[in-house]
Structure 1
Amino acid sequence: MTAYPRAELEEMVERWLQANRDAEQEGNWAKHLGPLYTDNAEYRWNIGPNEEFVASNRKEIEEWALGVQMEGFEAWRYPYHRILIDEKQGEVIGLWRQVSPALREDGSHYEVAGIGGSWFRYGGNYQWEWQRDFFDLGNVKALFFELAADGKLDPAVKRKIGKLAKGQLLPGHRRLRQPPSAWQKFKGFMAMVRIALFNR
């Protein structure tokens, strides 16, 4: 890890935040965020115990992370509410929210509960060389269920969820291990029942 001038990292963050605002306004994430990654940048996030998303260069980031993954989320907002900069290690952490354009009956936006964020490593030349997102997957799923129940889940998101439910991986998704079989799930359920019955 390389130290960088604080002012340079602060300028990088300002460029990143402006690119995010431009992407939200236009609904085109690849166009505005893609140029802010090095050619060999890596971008990843976890999708539970059995799966990880990984894009290993700027082309994959633009096509998969900012393309396929953002289909159905073009009008969502991801406002940052806190930025932490470590110029000695050349790293940045940004905490953000995930806000849907859809409104509930009370006029409030559907929004993912909990905390979300991105951990970046700076690569010089006002580009990131590494990024890892983190968020509460349980809260994301809960919001998708709520949107679906209210008839407000975007069709593109429905299609992607349908593929995943059938065991089809989206571009960039990698299995960390095989998901548990029905028999393993049943054994786990029965173990939980035994714990509940004998620990009362």
Structure 2
Amino acid sequence: MSWSREELDEMIRRWVEENEQCEALGDWKPLAHFYTEDATYGWNYGPQQEFMAVGRDEIRDIALGQEMFGLEGWTYPYQEFVVDERSGSVIGFWKQVNEGRRADGRPYSPEGIGGSWFRYAGDYQWSWQRDFFDFGNVTALFVEMISNDALSPGMRKRMERAASGRALPGWYPVGEGPVPLW
């Protein structure tokens, strides 16, 4: 199935606008209506773990709720989109930027490229999303922020949760998720 460029451009416009509103609120769960009931959303997190949410409810509660907890004050400004009308594939390249600043005035932001690959399903909804980012640069940034005592209380709780060893919903050993990542 193919889609008109106008419809895909409108989807992107709506998506970016709602993302900006969610960033301002520090709550990304309202984005859930942009996914089909059976959509999937996942990403890889290094050589041993990957994340996968299956269905709109898991996307809202786990991907946009649990996984965005502690990231209040962060923004993800999109830099560019690549659109394929024939397949409905949309790739959005974004930065991850913290509201805090380094001693030299630069914002805390990982180097490298971050992005999301979406598949459009019509009716202004995604049928799936796969995120990608530079794991090494993200890790280096968080180590820097820890060293500089620049973590928000929410981010500290997030890191404590991750260090607890407690299994969290949506996390799987690489290749063992309910839906293939690629």
Shorter-chain TM-score above 0.5: yes
TM-score, with structure 2 as normaliser:
0.92
Q: CA deviation at 1:177?
A: 7.1
Structure 2: where are the runs of 5+ without partners? 177-182
**For residues 85 and 145 of structure 1, do their structure 2 counterparts lie closer, same or farther at Cα, with a shift above 3 Å needed?**
same
Unaligned residue ranges in structure 1 (runs of 5+): 179-200
- Return the alpha-carbon distance in structure 2 between the equivalents of residues 120 and 75 of structure 1: 24
Partner of 2:28: 29
Whether the 8 Å contact between 1:160 and 1:170 is mirrored in structure 2 is no
Within 2, Cα distance between the matches of 1:27 and 1:39? 24
| Larger fraction in helix | 1
- SS across alignment from 2:140: helix
* CA distance in 2: counterparts of 1:132 and 1:27, whole angstroms: 21
Aligned-pair distance for 1:24?
A: 1.2
| Matched letter for residue 95 of structure 2 | R
- Return the match for 2:67 from 58, 66, 69: 69
Output the TM-score relative to the length of structure 1. 0.84
Measured after TM superposition, the shift of residue 16 of structure 1 is 0.4
Quick one: distance in 2 between partners of 1:21 and 1:176?
Answer: 31
Q: Structure 2: which amino acid aligns with 1:37?
A: Y
For this pair of structures, how many residues does the alignment match? 176
| CA-CA distance at 1:159 after TM superposition | 2.9
Aligned alpha-carbon RMSD (Å)? 1.5
Give 4+ residue runs of structure 1 displaced > 6 Å after superposition: none
- Contact 2:120–2:126 under 8 Å retained in 1: yes
* Counterparts in 2 of 1:16 and 1:51: CA distance versus 1, 3 Å: same
- Counterparts of 2:25 and 2:175 in 1: how far apart (Å)? 38
Seq. identity, % = 47
Which has the higher relative contact order, 1 or 2, with Cα contacts under 8 A spaced 6 or more apart? Answer: 2
Q: 1:28 to 1:165 in 2, by over 3 A?
A: closer
